[in-house]
Structures are given as structure tokens and as C-alpha cells.
């Protein structure tokens, strides 16, 4: 799976002008299931995200997790993270097929919730408007295929 984590002061997602998910302090997570991903991959990524210490402590050092700060996560599917940019027009053949991608996206969100992080989501396959107030800014790329 590929994910882009953005530490946020707030974030929201809208579909047809209607807010369907929002969070205050925590994460905006853009996530893409890749063709060979499994439930186990989603579970491990959720556990890693829940424990990742990128929030500031009292000394201003990135030493706290999203759970430590009582934060939450807005999880939004984004198949374009699978973009193959060898040509001028991106290809997305390495992304999981839509039905499987949705299953893994929802499984990741459920696993993150089970890790003690309140989760809001976007709508898989929808044309979404996502807005955020990035905190820092802190943006981290995660790829489960990368050691």
C-alpha cells in the first residue's frame, strides 16, 4: 500500500458540496491499495501509522503519536498514488482493481480505528474535494514495498 500522511490542524472531504468526513488535529491520509496488497499489509500499515511519532511534545520535538495527542485521521482513497510516470500520461495498472482497492481501503480504515485512532473517511471512487490546514507542514510518504 502507498500512503501520504499529512499532519493537520484540520481536514475535510466533500462530495457534491456536502461534507462527508472531517477531523481536527491529526492526520489526512491519502491511501492507495496496490495490485498485490493483502489484508495483512493493510493491518501492518495501520499499526505503523498509529504508532508513528510525528507530533510535537512539550519541548517541540516530534515525539508523540496521533494516539498520544488524542488526534484522529481522515482516510481518503487515492488511486493516483500508483501512477506510473514513464510516459507523459500516467498509467495506473499497478493499483489494485477497484473492488479490491475499496476492500483494502476500508480494511485499513477499520484497522486504524481498532488501533485507537478515531477515523473519518472519504467515499471510494467519488469525485471528492479535500481541504486541509497542514501542520508544520509535515508530510510523509509511506510505501509498504519500501523497507
pLDDT digits over 127-141, tens only?
Answer: 999 999 999 999 999
Whether residue 146 has pLDDT greater than 80: no
The mean pLDDT value of the chain amounts to 96
Q: Indicate which residues carry an active-site annotation.
A: 78-80
**Whole-number Cα distances in Å, 4 to 11, 59, 60, 79, 88:** 14, 26, 23, 12, 23
Lookup result for grid cell 500508483: 82
Structural domains in the chain, CATH included, are: 2-142 (3.50.80.10)
d(CA 65, CA 53): 4
Amino acid at each position: 500500500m502507498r500512503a501520504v500522511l499529512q499532519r493537520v490542524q484540520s481536514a475535510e472531504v466533500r462530495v457534491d458540496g456536502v461534507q462527508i468526513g472531517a477531523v481536527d488535529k491529526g492526520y489526512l491520509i491519502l491511501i492507495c491499495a496496490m495490485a498485490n496488497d493483502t489484508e495483512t499489509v493493510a493491518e501492518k500499515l495501520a499499526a505503523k501509522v498509529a504508532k508513528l511519532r510525528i507530533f510535537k511534545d512539550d519541548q517541540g520535538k516530534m515525539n508523540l503519536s496521533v494516539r498520544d495527542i488524542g488526534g484522529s485521521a481522515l482516510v481518503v482513497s487515492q488511486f493516483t498514488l500508483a501512477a506510473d510516470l514513464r510516459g507523459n500520461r500516467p498509467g495506473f495498472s499497478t493499483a489494485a482493481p477497484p473492488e479490491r482497492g475499496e476492500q483494502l481501503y476500508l480494511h485499513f480504515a477499520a484497522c486504524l480505528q481498532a488501533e485507537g485512532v478515531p477515523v473519518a473517511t472519504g467515499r471510494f471512487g467519488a469525485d471528492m474535494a479535500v481541504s486541509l490546514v497542514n501542520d508544520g507542514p509535515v508530510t510523509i510518504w509511506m510505501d509498504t514495498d519500501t523497507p
